[in-house]
């Protein structure tokens, strides 16, 4: 295992951002910055041994901070919090007290508000041995940041091993009752960005999903059988495109009430032989195929745009705070939040 640190630029307030580059014995390389705990790159060999970056990300901090990127902000590679996904109308009620959250996605609150964890600077500490290397990132979210109650201490640990497994483990503790729903917003494109992701094949163990109306759950859990959302066998992301012309932005139910680290599904692309297997302790996975991803001009070349990557966001369900039958996202003082997701990279 090899781990290197290097400068990645400065934020507008002058704070230094650091890049952590982790490489295993199979030439799989993961790059992470402590701004937003962002995965900027995952370089993976294809079936012929040729390596490409298989996620959406940038090579310099300036692009992450640019108006062009933030104007249609897709959260490339970032940690999402305090609450991933949507809260209907920004309405949050905890222990009888109501909090009005920022409305930043249509009529709803999305991904922690106007300045979520994706745009915060984390403290970083590295670790490594011959079979494992990684970075421990911590952030203290103060009481009432983005109007969430409680000072929340958050830890995110990224680790890469020689089995080609990228682990993402989250911990959190609070001093007041609050809500927590952490996820990672990496977008995969197993062609290395040479094509869009519509020919990628996705398979999920989920036989059910949350029924949604305008991106907000109704509270009903419905079967996927017979619908375009039945991914229980591997299907191309455009397999019923006439019925889903904007692709997917939907929450699938994983039936994982016990919180075990379980196999959830896989994403594969035949021309490269690349496959990503997903394991998680989380009860749900939001699949988003990037319909609104911005097209950007970087070094004179047009990059990204619609369907440039697919996000596989393991998390609790959207709007869980307003749906008492959903797995809870409440965290109380003395309790410890802990979730883990593993992306395993396979070449076939």
As to burial, measured by CB atoms within 10 angstroms (0-12 exposed, 13-18 middle, 19+ buried), residue 113 is buried
User: Tell me, what's the pLDDT at 330?
Assistant: 98
User: Tell me, what's the pLDDT at 268?
Assistant: 98
- Identify the helix (H) or strand (E) that includes residue 256: none
Domain boundaries, the chain: 2-347
Q: Are 188 and 276 in contact (CB under 8 A)?
A: yes
User: Tell me, what's the pLDDT at 180?
Assistant: 98
Separation of CA 285 from chain center? 10
User: Tell me, what's the pLDDT at 36?
Assistant: 98
| Residue 309 in this model has a pLDDT that exceeds 90 | yes
- Kindly state the average pLDDT of the residues 103-122: 97
pLDDT band at 44 (very low <50, low <70, confident <90, very high): very high
Ramachandran class of 304: left when φ > 0, alpha when ψ lies in -120 to 50, beta otherwise: left
- Kindly state the average pLDDT of the residues 174-203: 98
Q: Are 278 and 312 in contact (CB under 8 A)?
A: yes
Q: Are 283 and 256 in contact (CB under 8 A)?
A: yes
Q: Are 342 and 278 in contact (CB under 8 A)?
A: yes
Catalytic positions, written as ranges: 185, 313
CA distance 154 to 145: 13
Q: What is the mean pLDDT of the chain?
A: 97
- Kindly state the average pLDDT of the residues 246-269: 95
pTM of the prediction?
0.97
pLDDT band at 258 (very low <50, low <70, confident <90, very high): confident
User: Tell me, what's the pLDDT at 347?
Assistant: 97
pLDDT band at 154 (very low <50, low <70, confident <90, very high): very high
Q: What is the DSSP letter of 83?
A: B
pLDDT tens digit string along 136-147?
Answer: 999 999 999 999
User: Tell me, what's the pLDDT at 257?
Assistant: 80
Kindly state the percentage of the chain with pLDDT values over 70.
100
The token duo for 302 is 């047009």
pLDDT tens digit string along 310-344?
Answer: 999 999 999 999 999 999 999 999 999 999 999 99
Q: Are 46 and 274 in contact (CB under 8 A)?
A: yes
Please tell us whether the domain made up of 2-347 is placed in CATH 2.60.40.1930: no
């Amino acid at each position: 295992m090899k781990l290197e640190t290097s400068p990645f630029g400065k934020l507008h307030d002058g704070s230094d951002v650091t890049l952590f580059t982790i490489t295993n014995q199979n030439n799989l390389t993961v790059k992470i910055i402590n701004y937003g705990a962002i995965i900027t790159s995952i370089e993976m060999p294809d079936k012929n041994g040729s390596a490409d970056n298989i996620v959406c990300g940038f090579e310099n901090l300036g692009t992450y901070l640019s108006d062009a990127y933030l104007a249609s902000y897709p959260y490339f590679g970032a940690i999402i919090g305090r609450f991933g996904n949507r809260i209907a109308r920004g309405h949050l009620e905890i222990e009888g007290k109501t909090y009005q959250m920022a409305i930043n996605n249509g009529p709803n609150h999305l991904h922690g508000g106007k300045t979520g964890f994706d745009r915060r600077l984390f403290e970083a500490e590295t670790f490594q041995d011959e079979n494992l290397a990684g970075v421990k990132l911590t952030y203290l979210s103060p009481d009432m940041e983005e109007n969430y109650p409680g000072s929340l201490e958050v830890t995110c640990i990224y680790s890469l091993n020689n089995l080609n497994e990228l682990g993402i483990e989250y911990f959190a503790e609070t001093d007041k009752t609050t809500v927590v729903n952490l996820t990672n917003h990496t977008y995969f494109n197993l062609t290395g960005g040479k094509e869009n992701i519509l020919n990628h094949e996705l398979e999920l163990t989920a036989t059910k999903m949350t029924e949604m109306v305008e991106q907000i759950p109704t509270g009903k859990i419905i079967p996927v059988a017979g619908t375009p959302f039945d991914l229980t066998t591997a299907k191309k992301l455009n397999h019923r495109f006439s019925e889903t012309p904007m692709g997917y932005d939907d929450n699938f139910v994983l039936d994982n009430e016990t919180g075990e680290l379980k196999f959830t599904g896989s994403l594969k692309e035949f021309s490269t032989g690349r496959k990503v297997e997903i394991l998680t302790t989380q009860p749900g996975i939001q699949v988003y195929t990037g319909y609104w991803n911005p097209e950007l001009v970087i070094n004179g070349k047009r990059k990204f745009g619609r369907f440039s990557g697919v996000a596989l966001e393991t998390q609790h369900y959207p709007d869980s705070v307003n749906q008492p039958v959903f797995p809870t996202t409440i965290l109380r003082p003395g309790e410890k939040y802990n979730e883990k997701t593993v992306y395993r990279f396979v070449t076939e």
